[in-house]
Structure 1
Amino acid sequence: MKDLAIIILNYNSFEDTSREVNSLLQQKCYNKSIYIVDNNSTDKGKIEQLGLEKNINFIISDKNGGYAYGNNLAIKQAIKDGKKFFLLLNPDIDIDVVTIEVLYNDLQRKTEIGIIGPRICYRNHKNLIYSDGGLLHPEEGFQGEHVHFNRNISDVKTDHYNYDIDYVDGSVFMFRKEVLDEIGLMNEKFFMYYEESEWCLRVLRKTQWKLVVNTNITAYNVYSEKGSFYEYYMTRNRIWLCRLYDGDIKYVQKERWKLARKAFKRRDFSLAKAYLKGIIDGVYSKL
């Protein structure tokens, strides 16, 4: 898999990033397949030291431009290095090299697939599904939905390859260079959340490539609590997606306004402000 770039985006997550890198190297992953990007975090010195010690690729960004910006930096460098396949990994993901090989081989064998991911379960509850791919509902303001979310593996019957999805979760996301050649890189304006969703919608609407999740293989993530930062970008970016792809903006506005009122009544002013600012910026900012 020497033409594969494994990209890990770091932002103050050195413990997870170094754990993931060490795990890959211990499983005999080719060191020059690994690219770490530090998004101008306090970890930048540690990331540089890790890169030099492990002889892996590393990029130290001079700004925090968000998920798409950081990953795009590595993708562009990997293309210069001759890479033809790309795997985006969140630092908190646990994944075996064997699983990566299966995804890579799927792209080799199934030439109609542009983007692929594994089933994702929880690290602390390995029989509980987080995602078998994602669905988007434009009539609900592009509300997202994880297929089989929080269902036990034993209770789910699904095809080996699930094609009935609108996006592959961005925490474990493999694709081929030809997709980039047709639709370009991820939209950096989104900063956080819905970048992979927008990119997948572009693929589905503007190309013939297919998206799929291989449910016979699994990666594992960690659930994290959400706050005002998350809610602002989820609100704004859903509205942006509606503006780009004819979703129901009024649905998002109504839903988020109700949540803002509830937060205000609880005197959670930071959260209420995040909803309201997300609505305003989503509607009026330039795309």
Structure 2
Amino acid sequence: MVIVLKKEIPKYPKIKRDEKISVIIVSYNVVNLLEKCLKSLTYETKLLLDIWVVDNNSGDESVNMVKEKFEQVNLIENKENVGFACAVNKVLKLCDGDYIFLINPDAIIKKNSIEKLVDFLRSNPEAGAVAPKILYPDNSLQLSCRTFPNITTQFLESSYLFKLFPKSRFFGQYFMSWWDHNSLKEIDWASGSALMIKIETLNEVGFLDDEMFMYSEDTDWCYRCWKKGWKIYYLPEANVIHYDAQSAKNSEANRLIQVLESRYRFFRKHGYKNKMYIIKAIVLSGLLGRIIISFLAWLLTFSKERKIVKFENLKNFYQAFLWHF
């Protein structure tokens, strides 16, 4: 149910007042953070914002909060959790913004950041999308830029070698952890937790792949964007605080399975269909290693509270492993 409540351009031209930015927030059981997110948007007073919240059948007071406190927000109430991509696509069929800003409900936009993102897209015709710097609540860097997945990056991720050598350009290539994230940079793809998209690019590239319930839909869209000749940029002057994975924090096993399911779909779509046995062998080896390490950690832990945590980790990896069979 829908409730409608390469010529040179000067850098950062003044934003046009009649340009509309459609902001899309997909929410699930994060009422307090969603309220903070919506409040942070109210500081963008120079912009014409068309704000949409899609609630994926939350069990909390999210829907009532939006109705009572943010009457200007367009609200879509789903009767079931349809996932991120499908929820975004529902709005894309209805909104009419010149720019589309995807933002997670557990994110807070720093003042003037949306304006900086729009200004950048207006200044750079080749740019199809731009991502802000994403920070944790303690203001430490959240790695949100990536290279496109391949067999090598999957091995580095599954083996945890990227964590052992984060500053290495080779071992840290997927998460780009070798880079300080303090400079403007063209990137392969950025997290959909905060991403500004030009409408011309969206019209050419198409909507998100709603077969990806959650995760990798941003990777897939940016890859299709790159294939069409558009560029994705990272703009550190724009900042977003992201609490990260709050909707999925109580179901880590399901989150792991969703990550893998969507990642496998990406690989099958983009040239790795005949190499899936290699990719799955790499993932399974990595999960088996984590199961063994988690079991040993549980065995060697004597604190009751910590033992419960170690057992949960073990159970999550084991369930993700069994899901493959």
- Assess same fold via TM > 0.5: yes
The alignment of Structure 1 onto Structure 2 pairs a total of residues equal to 265
2:255 aligned partner: 230
Superposed CA RMSD:
2.6
1:276 aligned partner: 322
Structure 1, unaligned stretches of length 5 or more? 281-287
Q: Cα deviation per residue 1:148-183 (whole Å; 9 max; x = unaligned)?
A: 37x7xxxx3754x210x2111111011011122212
Q: Cα deviation per residue 1:189-209 (whole Å; 9 max; x = unaligned)?
A: 11011110011111112x121
Q: Is the 8 A contact 1:228 1:271 kept in 2?
A: yes
How far apart in 2 are the matches of 1:32 and 1:221?
Answer: 20
1:16 aligned partner: 33
1:93 aligned partner: 107
Deviation at 1:133, TM superposition (A): 1.9
1:192 is matched by which residue type in structure 2?
M
Deviation at 1:72, TM superposition (A): 1.2
2:152 is matched by which residue type in structure 1?
E
1:120 aligned partner: 134
2:163 aligned partner: none
Deviation at 1:32, TM superposition (A): 5.2
1:36 aligned partner: 53
- Structure 1 residues 129 and 190: CA distance shift in structure 2, 3 A: same
Give the alignment of 1:1-287 within 5 angstroms: 2-28=19-45, 33-43=50-60, 46-51=62-67, 53-54=69-70, 55-78=72-95, 82-124=96-138, 126=139, 128-131=140-143, 133-140=145-152, 145-148=174-177, 156=180, 159=183, 161-163=184-186, 165-205=187-227, 207-224=228-245, 227-247=252-272, 248-262=275-289, 265=292, 266=295, 268-277=314-323, 279=324
Instruction: Indicate the structure with greater helix content.
Output: 1
Deviation at 1:263, TM superposition (A): 5.5
- Among the aligned pairs, what percent are the same residue? 21
Q: Could you tell me the TM-score, scaled by structure 1's length?
A: 0.82
How far apart in 1 are the matches of 2:103 and 2:234?
Answer: 15
Deviation at 1:218, TM superposition (A): 2.0
- Structure 1 residues 97 and 57: CA distance shift in structure 2, 3 A: farther
2:176 is matched by which residue type in structure 1?
V
How far apart in 1 are the matches of 2:65 and 2:46?
Answer: 19
- Structure 1 residues 272 and 40: CA distance shift in structure 2, 3 A: same
Q: Is the 8 A contact 1:39 1:62 kept in 2?
A: yes
Structure 2, unaligned stretches of length 5 or more? 1-16, 158-172, 296-310
2:185 is matched by which residue type in structure 1?
N
